[in-house]
Amino acid sequence: MTWFLLAIAIAAEIAGTLLLKRSDGFTKLWPSIGVLVGYLTAFALLSQSLKKIDVGITYAIWSGFGIIGAAVGGAIFFNQHLTRLNLIGMAIIIGGVVIMNAGGVSH
């Protein structure tokens, strides 16, 4: 269940970040509300994940996959271009998360 909460926290953070772009500097009401809901949900669920998973591992997964999700979401929803170097960077992030997890999870 803890890993599921972390996955939802990541999805909420990605949604909040993508809506931040849509909010146009918080000048559009509904995307701005979505930003607040997304980030509040993300941090609430992240805090629950920290009860069972080490902070370093939790944060590596949350931030790493948040970066990747925002980049991919930017490409899908805003037609932002992903370069070969961007994709290599994403692969390195995934590799780092895998290495962090290989070190073990407590609790």
| Domain assignment present for 60 | yes
d(CA 78, CA 16): 15
| Domain assignment present for 30 | yes
Q: Strand locations in 10-80, DSSP E?
A: none
| Domain assignment present for 76 | yes
- Does 104 score more than 90 pLDDT? no
Residue 5: CB partners within 8 Å, gap ≥ 6?
Answer: 45, 48, 49
Q: What is the pLDDT of residues 43-91, one digit of tens each?
A: 999 999 999 999 999 999 999 999 999 999 999 999 999 999 999 999 9
| Domain assignment present for 107 | no
| Domain assignment present for 67 | yes
pLDDT of residue 106: 55
Range of the domain at 91: 2-102
Domain count, the chain: 1
d(CA 66, CA 61): 8
Q: What is the pLDDT of residues 78-102, one digit of tens each?
A: 999 999 999 999 999 999 999 988 8
